[in-house]
A and B are shown apart, each in its own frame.
Chain A
Amino acid sequence: DQQVKQNSPSLSVQEGRISILNCDYTNSMFDYFLWYKKYPAEGPTFLISISSIKDKNEDGRFTVFLNKSAKHLSLHIVPSQPGDSAVYFCAASSFNRDDKIIFGKGTRLHILP
């Protein structure tokens, strides 16, 4: 039973345009959400996070939006750059989490020249 779902296995976006990666979750106990980026042969790298008390968090070109009522979050990358081509994982955790982070299956983002 997937508690964190990334329904798009891949996404292609033109360089300079906006990339939007989506994530849905089922567990209402989740109170913290994270996005990780992964290049081949490397471990996931922490990108940006958001607490459930917020609905938006911004860091440079990256913005994460959280819609708690819909149990949905999205990562916006503006403008998209070639180095953004990677696999992006959405992840979630809860206060009573045993320090466990639940990951989605990932979305592969291709930035087209």
Chain B
Amino acid sequence: ETGVTQSPTHLIKTRGQQVTLRCSSQSGHNTVSWYQQALGQGPQFIFQYYREEENGRGNFPPRFSGLQFPNYSSELNVNALELDDSALYLCAGGLAGAYEQYFGPGTRLTVT
């Protein structure tokens, strides 16, 4: 049990639409990171938030954006959805300066 929850579990969207995925981390996690895991691949880092500001970003376009709230919750927003955005999206809580991260179960996004 990692103390990290995500919603919804599954989601189906149409190309061009926008989507918001949510994550709730446990007290004590002051960083939240988001990862995209395509089928047959490992998780790929999207970005991390610390103190409600973006603190590091992977190779993802600006249409991927996020928010971190004071209550240890976070959102991942994706605009102008593309078919290749279909993947499992993972949220991970952690502590600034620590390498270990604790993952939620993920949201499976399907773009048609």
Interface residue ranges, A against B (CB under 8 Å): 4, 6, 32, 34, 36, 41-46, 49, 89, 91, 93, 97-106
Contacts and interface: CB of A to CB of B under 8 A. Distances in A.
Contacts, number: 62
A98 B90 CA distance: 18
A106 B6 CA distance: 22
A42 B102 CA distance: 12
Given A98-B57, A99-B31, A99-B56, A46 B43 contact: no
A36 B2 CA distance: 13
A49 B100 contact: yes
Contacts of A93: 99
A60 to B, nearest CB: 17
A89 B56 contact: no
A34 B42 CA distance: 13
Interface string B46-69: 001010000111100000000000
Nearest to B88: A43
Contacts of A89: 42-43
Contact of A105 (B31, B42, B57): B42
Contacts of A98: 48, 55-57
A42 B92 CA distance: 12
Given A49-B99, A93-B99, A43 B48 contact: no
A49 B94 CA distance: 15
Contact of B100 (A46, A97, A100): A46
B10 to A, nearest CB: 11
Interface string B71-112: 000000000000000000010101010011111111000000
A39 to B, nearest CB: 10
Contacts of B40: 105
A91 B104 CA distance: 17
Nearest to A104: B42
A36 B42 CA distance: 11
Contacts of B103: 36, 43-45
